[in-house]
Amino acid sequence: MHAGIIFFLVILGSILFHIFTPWYWTDIASNWKGMDDTITLTFWVGGGVFVAVCLFMIYCVFKFSYKEGRKVEYKPEDKKLEKILTVATTLGVAALLAPGLIIWNQYVNVPKNSIEIDVMAWQWGWQYRLPGEDGKLGTTKVVNINDDNPFGINMDDPFGRDDVMVQSDIINLENNRPVKILLRSVDVLHNWYVPQFRAKMDAVPGVVTYYWFEPNKVGEYEVLCAEYCGVGHYAMRGGVEVQDPTSYQEWLGEQETFSDLLAKQNNEIETKKVAKNNSNIEKVIYKGEK
Amino acid sequence: MSDEYENNKSGYQAQSSEAITGSSGSASPDIDYVRPAELPEQDLYHGHTFITKWIFCQDAKVIGVQYFLTAVFTGVVGLILSWLMRLQLGFPGLAGFITAEHYYQFVTMHGMIMVVYFLTALFLGGFGNYLIPLMVGARDMVFPYVNMLSFWMFFVAVAILMASFFVPGGPTGAGWTLYPPQTILEGTPGSGMGILLMLVSLALFVIGFTMGGLNYMITVLQARTRGMTLMRMPLTVWGIFTATVLAMLAFPALLVSAIMMTLDKVIGTSFFMPTILKAGEVLEYGGGSPILFQHLFWFFGHPEVYIVALPAFGIVSDLISVHARKNIFGYRMMVWAIVGIGALSFFVWAHHMYVSGMNPWFGFFFATTTLIIAVPTAMKVYNWILTLWRGNIRINTVMLWCLGFIVTFVNGGITGIFLGNVSVDVPLSDTYFVVAHFHMVMGIAPVMVIMGAIYHWFPLITGRLLNETLGKWHFWATFLGAYSIYFPMHYLGFIGVPRRYYEMYDSPYMTSAVGMNEFISLAAFLVGAAQFILIFNIIKTLKTGKPAPKNPWKANSLEWHTSTQPPEHGNFGERLPVVHRWPYDFSVPGSKDDFIPQTTPPSEVVHTKVEKT
């Protein structure tokens, strides 16, 4: 008896927790509302099944707890009932799968008008590259990376010369313009993740991975690394600033291109930002130890 | 040496003649006919010295207990590591000795220990060894010597794993998934000796496990007693058997990936290592694929989930049936669901990799296969609760654990539908939603079954009944505590709190999580401490516990119908039992008792309305 009551309170508590929880989605700031909606749908269907199964179980505990000599049903199988349950479950699962696959189809097909951004990750930091006036990113190679060429752009690729280089862990994005994130890592796995945008994908050394989203709320967001990448993983943060088109263009105009950098290097050999960044972060992380 | 072998030839002949003449004194010999044995009985080696009886022992029951105790030891280590992690997460900086390196080492070792060295070893090595021969009516495993080697290989694997805590640099902190390249590069704690010992330990575990697994499979297939058809086996045996088949197919993938990674680390091959730039220098690797490792790992890793889950499914079915005094509902469906889930589990591995950077088009395939698995799994859940329906349910400690299992398993199964549904996984993967999901479904739920199984079979193993009052306290503290750890934890995932973060800092939307983290940590301390109730209960019972009557739960399966309780070496005394029915004939109409053991011939219960035999 007590057992049934406690189990009932657990289920009731779960429902109340879900209704009144102060912990829920961080406000969405991208086009992926469909993901949230599918989750809400799954919550209704799945939560309903969970509650129904548990209540049935609790009912049995109340109704059929041990009594000497109670008449017990002896019915090893019930083909009809089993068939009904199988079909109903299959339909329910299919109803949840369908919207999931539809949204995944949108996720893997990037809109034509999206702007490509090269997100380069390393232990433990980020930097970004945007296409220049030709609208195309230059190709890169890990072995090309050095202080003079922080993104490892192939020198003989004409598309690379006008690429805009953002040697900072903060990137600005234009509001309501789809972005195709091209992920690249020079060492281990990373993942460029902004909870408000919902989307994410691992950066894998050796290949370029991608995903897309369309930011739709002006503001500043924090970037988190969402794939474990060693001891500095938790400290590998960055930032995104979503701006209206005019401020974005203004910001874009202030950024340095690869040719600017090359020209500057001919004058003075300096710009060791990557290396410096790198060692700074390592210092911070190992501080606790030493 | 020959005098140390028992000659069982006469027993074999006696049985054959019995089958030909039918059992004597029966009114209608025909209905009791059971096919004669096809093979002679196996010769057993009986240990005489302390060493051959208790250490290098060939009795599957002793090996089972050895596996059990070793696995529980690793489990306690895993539990302490989880306390340290929760200490850091709930109260950052309170324990100054937990640096980021240590934290990641705790995370890694906790995960690997709990999944492989605790749950897998406990279910298959522990319960598998103890129960398979008893439940199928065999005298022992078919290869007792190999079975003994299996345990000692596991023991060495555990010793090496534990040794990695004491080597320079400490154990590996690469996360239990050991994703390259970071696993073997500096920047990850324990990337020197730590990871090597982990890989060696895993390889030994797989080798040892293969020895045990061959035993479990072949014993089930070849050594069942007369009348024990496959469709009369208890679901416990079905679960462990299917899990073993999965393990035989899945563990090789882990073994080869461990070997390949060792080669990458030691002699500089590049199976998993692309060109890497580290601290301004290009390393001498090139051309390898980190994603290849993930495919290999999860080809092992997903079946591994079911290697843990299927024995739990099987055991809980038996416990529910016995304590609800009712046949398991839809036995054949249950068997085919176990087999079907096992087979499907090899086609879903990449649902762990939706955002890994593999070709995203795989997502369609793996989301579909993953959600298909939900159907047989749901059928099992329905059948458990339908077994309770119109039963006569003993609300004892064993049943409480079963009910706790149903709640936590359904909860964790439903959140699996979130994560398996590819686009829903995108925002939730790598967050605490995942942590909550897999702990609920393959941490708490199987542990509920383990606990139920301990309370259920303890009288068989020791001859004494565990204290019920302590058992109930143990259950409620564990169930309520564990539920209040993992249920709210899902909501951290919605906020977007990523997993494997040593510290959150003060991201604005995450500050609301601080209070919850403190609460979860306190609950975790409580649940861990509650396990000492069980240890106390076991010690107390062994000293002063109530002696258990024979077959205290009035169960039908063969392990309760041995010549002595606890069963001795050889299990069944002079003569092996002959099986006439499935193990679920509870409360059969017309029957005097509310149970009919598997060994009862039809002629003794002619007036009952037995539907399935």
The CATH number that applies at residue A214 is 2.60.40.420
Residues A121 and A40 in one domain: no
Q: Give a yes or no: residue A72 inside a domain.
A: no
Q: How far is A88 from chain B (nearest CA, A)?
A: 9
Q: For residues A201 and A183, is the Cβ–Cβ distance under 8 A? A: yes
Residues of chain A found within 8 Å of residue B324, distances taken between Cβ atoms: 64
In angstroms, rounded to a whole number, what is the distance separating the alpha carbons of residues B88 and B91?
A: 5
Q: Give a yes or no: residue A70 inside a domain.
A: no
Is the pLDDT at B305 greater than 90? The verdict is yes
* B541 vs A281, more confident: B541
Residues A131 and A172 in one domain: yes
Averaged over A165-190, what is the pLDDT?
A: 94
Q: For residues A200 and B69, is the Cβ–Cβ distance under 8 A? A: no
pLDDT confidence band for B31 (50 / 70 / 90): confident
- Token digits for B225? 């007693």
- Token digits for B39? 């093979």
Q: Give a yes or no: residue A69 inside a domain.
A: no
Asked if B424 and A42 come within 8 Å (Cβ–Cβ), the reply is yes
Torsional sign, CA B524, B529, B531, B533? negative
Asked if B395 and A25 come within 8 Å (Cβ–Cβ), the reply is no
From the list B185, B414, B509, which residue is nearest A50 (CB)? B414
Number of cross-chain residue pairs from A and B with Cβ atoms under 8 Å apart: 326
The count of domains in chain A is 2
Q: Give a yes or no: residue A134 inside a domain.
A: yes
- Token digits for B141? 């495993």
**What are the φ and ψ backbone dihedral angles of A173, each rounded to 5 degrees?**
-125, 155
| pLDDT tens-digit readout, B548-605 | 999 999 999 999 999 888 998 888 888 899 999 999 999 998 888 889 999 999 888 8
Closest CA to B113 of B247, B248, B191, B205: B205
C-alpha dihedral, A197 to B514 to A16 to B380, nearest 10°: 70
Report the percentage of chain A scoring pLDDT > 70.
92
Residues of chain B found within 8 Å of residue A14, distances taken between Cβ atoms: 487
| Tokens 């409580």 -> residue | B526
Q: For residues A199 and A34, is the Cβ–Cβ distance under 8 A? A: no
| pLDDT tens-digit readout, A92-122 | 999 999 999 999 999 999 999 999 999 999 9
CA distances from B82 to B110, B212, B454 (A): 6, 29, 23
Specify the pLDDT at position B3.
Answer: 40
> Is B382 near chain A, with CB under 8 Å?
yes
CB count within 10 Å of CB B560 equals: 24
Sheet holding A237-243, edge to edge: A170-174, A237-243, A219-225, A190-193, A202-203
Residues A155 and A97 in one domain: no
Asked if B498 and A145 come within 8 Å (Cβ–Cβ), the reply is no
| pLDDT tens-digit readout, B478-527 | 999 999 999 999 999 999 899 999 988 777 777 778 889 999 999 999 99
> Is B477 near chain A, with CB under 8 Å?
no
Specify the pLDDT at position B310.
Answer: 96
| pLDDT tens-digit readout, B79-108 | 999 999 999 999 988 888 999 999 999 999
**Mean per-residue pLDDT over chain A, rounded:** 88
Q: Which residue of A has its CA nearest to B428?
A: A198
pTM of the model: 0.91
Residues A82 and A190 in one domain: no
pLDDT confidence band for A135 (50 / 70 / 90): confident
What ipTM did this prediction achieve? 0.89
Is the pLDDT at B611 greater than 80? The verdict is no
pLDDT confidence band for A290 (50 / 70 / 90): very low
Residues A6 and A97 in one domain: yes
Residues A100 and A222 in one domain: no
Got the DSSP string for A251-281? HHHHSEEHHHHHHHHHH-----HHHHHHHHH
Averaged over B214-229, what is the pLDDT?
A: 94
Mutate: best of B85, B97, B277, B613, partner A, most A CBs <10 A: B277
Is the pLDDT at B238 greater than 70? The verdict is yes
Residues A103 and A125 in one domain: no
Q: Which residue of B has its CA nearest to A210?
A: B357
Gyration radius from chain A CA atoms: 27
pLDDT confidence band for B5 (50 / 70 / 90): very low
Q: Give a yes or no: residue A229 inside a domain.
A: yes
Specify the pLDDT at position A281.
Answer: 53
Residues A123 and A253 in one domain: yes
Q: Give a yes or no: residue A155 inside a domain.
A: yes
Q: Give a yes or no: residue A265 inside a domain.
A: yes
In angstroms, rounded to a whole number, what is the distance separating the alpha carbons of residues B186 and B196?
A: 14
- Token digits for B548? 């258990």
Residues A129 and A160 in one domain: yes
Asked if A38 and B423 come within 8 Å (Cβ–Cβ), the reply is yes
pLDDT confidence band for A71 (50 / 70 / 90): confident
Q: Give a yes or no: residue A7 inside a domain.
A: yes
> Is B607 near chain A, with CB under 8 Å?
no
Residues A42 and A132 in one domain: no
**DSSP bridge partners of A193:** A224
Which string of b and e fits B317-335 if b means at least 16 CB within 10 Å?
bbbbbbbbbbbbbbbebbb
> Is B329 near chain A, with CB under 8 Å?
yes
Chain B 17-46, residues with CB within 8 Å of chain A CB atoms:
none
**DSSP bridge partners of A121:** A126, A185
pLDDT confidence band for A280 (50 / 70 / 90): low
Which residues fall within 8 angstroms of residue B438, CB to CB, at 6 or more apart?
Answer: B305, B412
pLDDT confidence band for A288 (50 / 70 / 90): very low
Q: Which residue of B has its CA nearest to A229?
A: B182
Specify the pLDDT at position A274.
Answer: 52
Torsional sign, CA B559, B561, B566, B570? negative
Residues A24 and A126 in one domain: no
Expressed as residue numbers, the domain containing A129 is 115-287
Residues A204 and A185 in one domain: yes
Specify the pLDDT at position B612.
Answer: 64
Percent of residues in chain B assigned helix, strand, coil, to nearest 5 = 65, 0, 30
Q: For residues B31 and B610, is the Cβ–Cβ distance under 8 A? A: no
Got the DSSP string for B420-444? HSHHHHHHHTTBHHHHHHHHIIIII
Fill in the amino acid letter for B348.
V
Asked if A10 and B187 come within 8 Å (Cβ–Cβ), the reply is no
Torsional sign, CA B372, B375, B376, B380? positive
